[in-house]
Structure 1
Amino acid sequence: MKKKKILFLGESFRADAITWINGLREFGDFEIITWELKTPSNNKTNRILRLLEFIFAVFKIKKIIKTENPDMVIAERTTSYGFLAAMTGIHPMAIAQQGQTDLWPAKTVTIPFKKLIQGYAFNQADLIHAWGEVMTLTMKESNVDMNKVLVLPKGIDLDVFANQNNANPQKICAIVTRSLLPEYRHDIILKAFGVLNREGIDFLLIVVGDGTQLPILKQLARQIKIHEKVIFTGRIPNTQLPQLLQESNIYISMPTTEGVSASLFEAMACNCYPIVTDIAGNRNWIQHRENGNLVPVDDCNALAEELIWSFENKTHREQAVLINRKTVEHKANYKTNMKIISNKYHNLINLYTTK
């Protein structure tokens, strides 16, 4: 039987997209074609060029559809690729809201326009992915037909992110695995460890990844005299990440906004105790001082206090990581969840085929 073909609109190089695409190939036996905008948005000139590329993108996508004849289109981000998918007119179509809201950056002049195109994408979609409950809040505010919404994370591979931890129990071995971008507030994390350093508390902090903030963060670490205890790995292969998590006893993430974080799931799977910002996306998974710690946004002193409390309460941490592993096994198992998503796509394709 000929494989069903899906056109994926989105940044196919991102880890989140790779998980989605590979899951559909493995559990749905789909053939996947990808398309994405080529112009980066790293400066003002490129942002203008990217906007022009976006405006004319629908014609390129329609040409691909005519050539490849996909059975379905899927797209990430409701205000960009999701809108482009809606403009093609092809069905079935699934779109995914990537964060708590795709209306970002907040309080900018483009928000009213983004609301319009998001609303159009919501209305045209046959299936809307909410990777977590927190994403449904803004959907309901936008009067989305919630019968079209599938609330389910893609999950993580629990065989790769294994149930083990080899961290040094004698000191804080912390890890951060978010992109080095301003919204993830790595500076707050470094300042918190500056507090620990002044109090004579031993630690090792591993900062995984790359991004625009890397040179700034390296300079800050040197400025507050913790550079000898901080390792900036830069971009690493995903195959190296499980081992780094398993060698850490505390996972830290301090974003100002969050949808559903695969990075958090990966840490929970590897028995790494989570300390994260007290925002809606994290509260869906972490209860303060029960299975992790919640910290107010941009509060380095509070983060320092929770780091110390967590490390000193070893028995609590040991019990919490057991709970967290069971949680991801039950709710964020890639093999289970991607089978459900793949079956949903096949059902949609069959529905439109018989119409």
Structure 2
Amino acid sequence: LHPASATGRPSIGGARMIGLRAFLRHWLGPLTVPWAAERVRKAMQAVQPDLVHAMRIPFEGIVAAAACLSAPLLISVWGNDFTLHAPSTPWMGLLTRRALAHADALHVDCQRDLHLAYDLGFSRERPRLVLPGGGGVRPEIFHPGAPDLAALDGPLKAVLRGISPEAKVVINPRGFRGYVRNDTFFQAIPRILKVHPRTIFICPAMANQAQAKRWIGQLGIGAVVHLLPMLSPIEMAATFQRAQVTVSPTEHDGTPNTLLEAMACGCFPVVGDLESIREWIEDGVNGLLVDAGDPEALARSVNRALADADLRAQAAERNERLIAEKATYTNVMNEAEAFYRKIAR
């Protein structure tokens, strides 16, 4: 049971719709669970799987638990399942606890979520696995080095070709989500430009965001900000390779794939100060941790990273080792396969 791909979902009104979608999801979504569970139950009776893997709790894990399947149920946890969705309404909290009680095994992408799962009722005696949720980083795509512009096409190629070699580049790869403080990011840009006036800002998955365009107009930063469509992995890698800094001002997160991919490419992380992120980033060593709601703090950290080439080099070396040790695709998928075999009937 897999959620809809973020790369294939069109915008339905931009940033203003995020709060409404969250409200509908948290208050009305639970009403659909009995109907969805019955459909899943019938489908699984026909398929008779050895294992059912729900790729997040709301609502795949919730529906699978309600279906009372005979096959073992493995639930994966996304980074905001416990910190954003579960406490949003009493109903969501109850359904989250029920899903964890029914789960035969659990996959999380950070130790924080494992501890929260125990607090919410997942049995400590059941199998659990801590691995990057996206399957890990593909080193043949995400690695240090200069971007290969010949391998690119579309608007990104033109953008990268148009950036002078002396310019600094900052990427915000998170798009528009309810837990990403893009208001903080855009408000930080003029403060960054005061210190580093030749800085370019690249924003994938924001091409059609009206709110982003309004902020750019209000702040007068249109000449240095590029709002791009969703980028392919090869395009993301090229952008991380060209950028000095990646910015992720989030208030809820687990282990973001874009963080690991940026680290693999040698791009310096400036990220929200969250418990889950601290499992990867040591402040001032291989990245900088900031208050996601403070534009001045974000700008100050980005300015520090852009000015300190030694810090960026030190971080790049450490982060490349971290990814090689903990997050390469082959190693992650081998561990995931072994876990599957352990719990499948």
TM-score (norm 2): 0.83
Q: How does 1:105-184 map to 2 (within 5 A)?
A: 105=85, 108=88, 110=89, 112-147=90-125, 148-153=127-132, 154-165=135-146, 170-184=166-180
Q: How does 1:153-232 map to 2 (within 5 A)?
A: 153=132, 154-165=135-146, 170-199=166-195, 201-210=197-206, 214-232=209-227
Amino acid at match of 2:192: L
The aligned counterpart of 1:96 is 76
The aligned counterpart of 2:335 is 340
Alpha carbons 2:110, 2:254 under 8 Å: kept: yes
1:12 CA displacement: 4.3
Aligned-partner Cα distance in 2 for 1:292–1:103: 23
Please say which of residues 73-82 and 316-325 is displaced more in the overlay.
73-82
Alpha carbons 2:49, 2:71 under 8 Å: kept: no
Aligned-partner Cα distance in 2 for 1:238–1:94: 27
Which stretches in structure 1 are left out of the alignment for 5+ residues?
1-8, 16-40
Aligned-partner Cα distance in 2 for 1:239–1:316: 26
Aligned-partner Cα distance in 2 for 1:345–1:274: 33
Q: Show CA shifts across 1:185-241 (max 9, x none).
A: 1121111111123456220000011498x2111111121111110000022333321
The aligned counterpart of 1:69 is 48
Amino acid at match of 1:191: Q
Aligned-partner Cα distance in 2 for 1:276–1:43: 23
Alpha carbons of structure 1 residues 219 and 134: separation in structure 2 relative to 1, 3 Å: same
Aligned-partner Cα distance in 2 for 1:228–1:313: 25
1:172 CA displacement: 2.3
The aligned counterpart of 1:235 is 230
Give the percent of matched residue pairs that are identical in Structure 1 and Structure 2.
Answer: 24
User: What is the root-mean-square deviation of aligned Cα atoms in Å?
Assistant: 2.6
1:65 CA displacement: 1.2
1:67 CA displacement: 2.3
Q: How does 1:264-275 map to 2 (within 5 A)?
A: 264-275=259-270
Alpha carbons 1:77, 1:102 under 8 Å: kept: no
Which stretches in structure 2 are left out of the alignment for 5+ residues?
8-19, 148-159
Alpha carbons 2:26, 2:92 under 8 Å: kept: no
Q: How does 1:322-333 map to 2 (within 5 A)?
A: 322-333=317-328
Aligned-partner Cα distance in 1 for 2:290–2:189: 14
Alpha carbons 2:75, 2:107 under 8 Å: kept: yes
Q: Which residue of 283, 287, 295 maps to 2:282?
A: 287
TM-score (norm 1): 0.81
1:90 CA displacement: 2.4
1:339 CA displacement: 1.1
Alpha carbons of structure 1 residues 12 and 70: separation in structure 2 relative to 1, 3 Å: farther
Q: Secondary structure at the match of 1:159?
A: coil
Aligned-partner Cα distance in 1 for 2:83–2:269: 27
Alpha carbons 1:72, 1:90 under 8 Å: kept: no
Alpha carbons of structure 1 residues 274 and 45: separation in structure 2 relative to 1, 3 Å: closer
Aligned-partner Cα distance in 1 for 2:196–2:302: 14
The aligned counterpart of 1:20 is none
The aligned counterpart of 2:15 is none
Aligned-partner Cα distance in 2 for 1:227–1:245: 21
1:87 aligned onto 2:66:
yes
Aligned-partner Cα distance in 1 for 2:146–2:276: 25
1:127 CA displacement: 0.9
Alpha carbons of structure 1 residues 165 and 323: separation in structure 2 relative to 1, 3 Å: farther
1:107 CA displacement: 5.6
Aligned-partner Cα distance in 2 for 1:165–1:207: 19
* The structure with more strand, counted as a fraction of residues: 1
Alpha carbons 1:173, 1:203 under 8 Å: kept: yes
1:278 aligned onto 2:273:
yes
Q: Show CA shifts across 1:109-168 (max 9, x none).
A: x2x222222222212211101111121221232242234221222312121112324597
Aligned-partner Cα distance in 1 for 2:107–2:122: 12
Amino acid at match of 1:91: A
Alpha carbons 1:172, 1:311 under 8 Å: kept: yes
Amino acid at match of 2:291: P
Alpha carbons of structure 1 residues 146 and 14: separation in structure 2 relative to 1, 3 Å: farther
Aligned-partner Cα distance in 1 for 2:315–2:321: 10
Alpha carbons of structure 1 residues 182 and 86: separation in structure 2 relative to 1, 3 Å: closer
